[in-house]
Amino acid sequence: MENYLYKKFKLNLKLAQSNAYFGKVSESCSYYKKHLNDNPYDLVAFNDFLDIAIKEKNEKVDINFLVAHKEKILKHFGDRQTSFELKEYAASISSKIMSIIINHHSDWSLPKDTTDEKPKERDEIVKLVILTCVWQRHDLTEVVLSYYNRLSKSLAAAIQLDVAVVGSEGDASRRIAERNDCIYMEYPNLPLNEKWEFGLNELRNHHHDAVIIVGSDDLLPEKLFYTYKRFVEDGVMAAGLTDGYFMDISDTVESIYWGGYGGMSRNAGMPWRLNESMGMGRFYSSELLSILNYSLWKGKAINRGLDGRARENVVDLGLLPVTESKLLDVHINGKVVKFGQLGVSLKELGIFAVDVKVPESSVTPMTNFYRSHNSVRRIHNVWDLIEENFDTHLLNDLKSLHSKYKKEGAL
């Protein structure tokens, strides 16, 4: 039996290689797929399979199989150890799969020479719009929206930053938004995906270069918006943060840094999602949103898992999570854009952005992150980080909230 399996291992692989040698791409891909079904962790064969499939524009390749196989490899690795060191390997595989997707798309193409195809210098200011949804927690909402109002004034010379708010409490939420110079929209709070979808739909007629997704408890520093500005200027279609900081306003000693997807499977590390971004601060270019018809959350009504719904819709278009060096220059609608979902690390950028958790009111509780202990570490200097990255006004506002919600015995 063992000898039979060994021969089968060799046979399908040899047939794949020989058909590739003679230019029979379809047959080669078929045998590679058979080989990988029997030997899913043969990384060399998987890489060779992708290289063969990229060369042929006319042959249809099972993209779903390729994406699922990449995830199977990462999960297998994550069953034994953390997979953070596979970051560049996973990005390289995703980049090759995207090349195959582009080759099979009639309206998209990979430029043969991009030396003269860099995005042109802009003659107008970069325009960004934050989209957020609010519900109750009026004290925290006031702190967050007033911060972004001040930030928009600070950025005005280099970036036009608008804030669009979808509320569900009539005058109560409208007053907070308008007091802080926000664009206000009203929609029922539940289901949450429809609320966010409504807000994004309404931005179709708002002139902007990109939309930034921000939860009503997310605080992004000024420095990060200059990174978004560079994304616009470079033609990046989609980007997000692969790590993040979380602050429990009732007990700041419980604050954590989450290093991202890639921990061990048994510790809820979800290694197959390596290089994927979290929901806070996701960047979507106007070009991408136009292709998606300004829709990221359409579908079955849900109140959780919105980040996943948005991710699925972007992946369905062919944009996979990659590092910056693995983005692809692609011709779309007469422009050269950076194709892929770019994941950037706050830690590597030297930036602190924080999701402020109020007890029993957050959509994603802190306990969700504690389970992934390979990716989580406690931070004991959260006030120092806030002081270093944000204005004094925000620091004082957060300290006031901490005094209001502080647990008995908390520092």
pLDDT tens across the length of the chain (411 residues):
555 555 556 799 999 999 999 989 889 989 999 999 999 999 999 999 999 988 876 567 788 899 999 999 999 999 999 999 999 999 999 999 999 999 888 778 877 654 445 555 666 899 999 999 999 999 999 999 999 999 999 999 999 999 999 999 999 999 999 999 999 999 999 999 999 999 999 999 999 999 999 999 999 999 999 999 999 999 999 999 999 999 999 999 889 999 999 999 998 899 999 999 999 999 999 999 999 999 999 999 999 999 999 999 999 999 999 999 999 999 998 899 999 999 999 999 999 999 999 887 665 666 667 677 789 999 989 999 999 999 999 999 999 999 999 876 665
Structural contact between residues 45 and 12, judged by C-beta atoms closer than 8 angstroms: no
pLDDT of residue 4: 53
Tokens of 232: 């616009």
Spatial neighbors of 399 by CB under 8 A, at least 6 apart, are 383
pLDDT of residue 120: 57
Whether this prediction's pTM lies above 0.85 is answered by: yes
In words, the CATH class of domain 126-405 is alpha beta
The two most distant CA atoms of the chain are separated, in Å, by 76
Question: CA distances (Å), 255 to each of 177, 264, 364, in order?
Answer: 28, 22, 14
**Of 279, 285, 257, 280, whose CA–CA distance to 348 is shortest?**
257
**What letter does residue 235 receive in the DSSP assignment?**
T
Count, in order, helices (H) and strands (E) of the chain. 15, 14
Tokens of 259: 């290093």
pLDDT of residue 116: 45
Spatial neighbors of 136 by CB under 8 A, at least 6 apart, are 169, 361
Task: State the Cα–Cα distance between residues 210 and 91, nearest whole angstrom.
Answer: 24
Domain boundaries, the chain: 2-103, 126-405
Give φ, ψ of 327 to 5 degrees.
-65, 150
Q: What is the 3-state composition of the chain as percent helix, strand, coil, each rounded to the nearest 5?
A: 50, 15, 35
Give φ, ψ of 15 to 5 degrees.
-65, -40
Q: What is the amino acid identity at position 164? A: A
Structural contact between residues 176 and 143, judged by C-beta atoms closer than 8 angstroms: no
Q: Find the distance separating the first CA and the last CA of the chain, reported in whole Å.
A: 65
**Is the CATH code 2.10.260 the one for domain 2-103?**
no
Spatial neighbors of 93 by CB under 8 A, at least 6 apart, are 46, 47, 50, 70
| Burial degree of 61 (CB within 10 A; 0-12, 13-18, 19+) | buried
Structural contact between residues 238 and 311, judged by C-beta atoms closer than 8 angstroms: no
Quick check: do 2-103 and 126-405 share a fold? no
Q: How far is CA 304 from the centre of its chain?
A: 16
Spatial neighbors of 116 by CB under 8 A, at least 6 apart, are none
